[in-house]
Amino acid sequence: MKKNEVETGGTRSAIARAILEGGPATAVDLSQKLAITPAGIRRHLDALVDEGILEAREPHLSTLNSAERGRGRPSKVFVITDSGREKFEHSYDDLAVSALRFMASKSGSGLVNEFARTRAEDIAKRASEKVSKANGIAAKSQALANFLSTDGFAANVHSKGIGEELCQNHCPIAHVASAFPELCEAETAAFSELLGTHVQRLATIAHGDGVCTTFIPNNTTFIPNNTTIPNQISKPKEKVLK
């Protein structure tokens, strides 16, 4: 392989990794972050889109900086695709889906819900020490994001005035959760328990969004510390599993 081909592959891998870990980004953002010329970054982005690793989408206003909001038509943002995620993941997703399908076929949704709660309780247990030491919702949210990042979720927090927005830019179980959304619902319940307040899941990678986004209000209604993750998880709409 020629040297320039290796360098090109390395650059495109760095671009995809930057979007995977940092969330949706415009060409300008990536050009500045990776110190690549605007023309160069667009050439690499076009190639990654053609390869099916990235997808270009219209941006949400909340993802734009003040300069971009002031212009005419906002630049498109680039997000990682399911195919792109798979290139960075090394898990037994297909086996996990098959196992959960088998559980559901033998005992209905009950055993799957129990598994989802057990996984969420494990997250809450492991994160509780760091989160409990933080004071205030902003600090607790940041502590939770730090924990999630160590667990492979590439998480960060953005202040939104009336609350905090927790973003998980990567989901190691996205493929499994797309078939079994009970995992996402139990995880959201675990976040509520950890933060001591009701939280709202706005978007999930498993459902095709670029980022898993959870809103955490500042004007909290605290939940007692001994609250456990609910046994009743709302039954999702039936999906056709491929």
Task: Give the pLDDT band of residue 8 (cuts 50, 70, 90).
Answer: low
Can you tell me whether residue 203 is helix, strand or coil? Answer: strand
pLDDT given at position 108:
83
Q: Which of 157, 239, 233 is nearest to 195 (CA)?
A: 157
Domains, the chain, ordered by start? 3-84 (1.10.10.10), 93-217 (3.90.1520.10)
223 versus 232: the higher-pLDDT residue is 223
Bridge-partner residues for 25, per DSSP? 78
pTM of the entire predicted model: 0.63
What's at 16, amino acid-wise? A
Average pLDDT over residues 47-71: 72
Is the pLDDT at 122 greater than 50? The verdict is: yes
How do residues 133-146 score in pLDDT, each as one tens digit? Answer: 999 999 999 999 99
Task: Give the pLDDT band of residue 1 (cuts 50, 70, 90).
Answer: very low
Across all residues in the chain, what is the average pLDDT?
Answer: 82
Is the pLDDT at 231 greater than 70? The verdict is: no
CA distance between the termini of the chain: 37
Q: How far is CA 242 from CA 98, 173, 204, in A?
A: 11, 17, 19
